[in-house]
Amino acid sequence: MSTTAPGLGHALDISSTSPTPFSRLVRVELRKTWDTRAGLWLLISTAVVTALVMVIQLAVVVANDLQVSYNDFLTSTNFSIGLLLPVIGILLLTSEWSQRTAMVTFSLEPRRPHVIAAKFVVGIGLAVVAVIIALVLATICNALYGALSGDTVVWDQSAEQTAYFVLLQVIGMLTGFAFAALLLNSPAAIVLYMVYSFVLPGLFGLGAALIGWFEKIQPWIDFNDAQTGLFDGNGMSGDDWAHFAVSGFIWLVVPLGIGIARVLRAEVK
């Protein structure tokens, strides 16, 4: 058992200590997402809900003798990982504040941008894993649909669409992350995200229908609307990408920038 305090000298010899490698920070941040009961169950329930929504979809489709394709099963994830990934993204960051662990995290790694970048990488990684799980589940459901209904099974997912799907989920996660950085408070960030994804599209649609000039700017500021092409099967045109970039800058880059600047300066208590 060693608590030897080396060095009677007054100066601290730091020459033999290497800075904490980024990969280690990423591994620690990943560990933090599942090492509490709440965190573990959030991850498990995200996967379970994704499966559940697809199974319900399958049951309804088979019972009512409807025609569906592989892509339809994937679209159902709007109600599972589409909702829960942003929440995971939010908690990645805000739990450090609500549980006050930021004090320990930032005293073990004072280079705060490294810690935030590690969380960012973990967020993207979890989104990619969620996508893989969703693709596998949709494959199983589509195959079962063929077996149960006797209809022709349609595999209508191109590589491009798969890439869109990944992008969609990563953006969902990052939007949550950005709102979390901005507010540093779990409930507030979750409420903001819900307003942004459920209330705002309605308001934008209403504004566009009632006010002539608003209809022109709406595509440029409505980030939800700009992502429609990523999952509706119609693809993204050049205009769509322009709308996507501009509205994404407003809803993703700006809050993330302000939020990170805030975290870097914040007094940690």
Partner 1 sequence: MITVEGLTRKYGTFTAVDDVSFVCQPGRVTGFLGPNGAGKTTTMRIMVGLTAPTAGRVTIGGHLYQDIPNPGRHVGVLLDASAQHAGRTGREILELGARTMGLDGSRVDEMLELVSLTPGEAKRRLRNYSLGMKQRLGIAHALLGDPSVLILDEPANGLDPAGIRWMRGLLKGYAERGGTVLLSSHLLNEVELIADEMILIGHGKIVAQGDKKSLLAGAKGSGTTFVTALDNQVLAEALQAKGFVVAGAGDGLRVETEPVEVGRTAAEKAIVLTDLRAADGGLEDLFLELTSDTQREGMA
Contacting partner 1 (CB under 8 A), which of 56, 59, 66, 103? 103
Cβ proximity to partner 1, 44 vs 147, nearer residue: 44
Query: Exposed (0-12), middle (13-18) or buried (19+): which is 3, by Cβ within 10 Å?
Result: exposed
Under the binding rule (CB under 8 A), the answer on residue 119 touching partner 1 is no
Under the binding rule (CB under 8 A), the answer on residue 216 touching partner 1 is no
Cβ atoms of residues 154 and 146 within 8 Å: no
Task: Tell me, rounded to whole angstroms, the distance of Cα 82 from its chain centroid.
Answer: 8
* Cα angle value 70/75/76 (rounded, 5°): 105
Q: What is the number of residues in the chain?
A: 269
Stretch that binds partner 1, among 67-75, 102-110, 125-133, 189-197 (CB under 8 A): 102-110
Task: Tell me, rounded to whole angstroms, the distance of Cα 256 from its chain centroid.
Answer: 13
Under the binding rule (CB under 8 A), the answer on residue 158 touching partner 1 is no
* Cα angle value 258/85/251 (rounded, 5°): 30
- The C-alpha atoms of residue 90 and residue 111 are separated, in whole angstroms, by 21
Minimum distance from CB of 187 to partner 1 (Å)?
Answer: 17
- The C-alpha atoms of residue 191 and residue 122 are separated, in whole angstroms, by 23
Give me the half-sphere count of Cα atoms (radius 13 Å) on the Cβ side of residue 71.
18
Cβ proximity to partner 1, 64 vs 107, nearer residue: 107
Stretch that binds partner 1, among 80-88, 105-113, 149-157, 187-195 (CB under 8 A): 105-113
- The C-alpha atoms of residue 160 and residue 150 are separated, in whole angstroms, by 28
Cβ proximity to partner 1, 20 vs 161, nearer residue: 20
For residues 31 to 70, the per-residue mask of contacts with partner 1, x marking binding by CB under 8 A and - elsewhere, is: xx--xxxxx-------------------------------
Stretch that binds partner 1, among 8-16, 164-172, 187-195, 245-253 (CB under 8 A): 8-16
Stretch that binds partner 1, among 12-20, 81-89, 162-170, 231-239 (CB under 8 A): 12-20
Residues that bind partner 1 (CB under 8 A): 1-14, 17-21, 24-25, 27-28, 31-32, 35-39, 95, 99-101, 103-104, 106-111, 265, 267-269
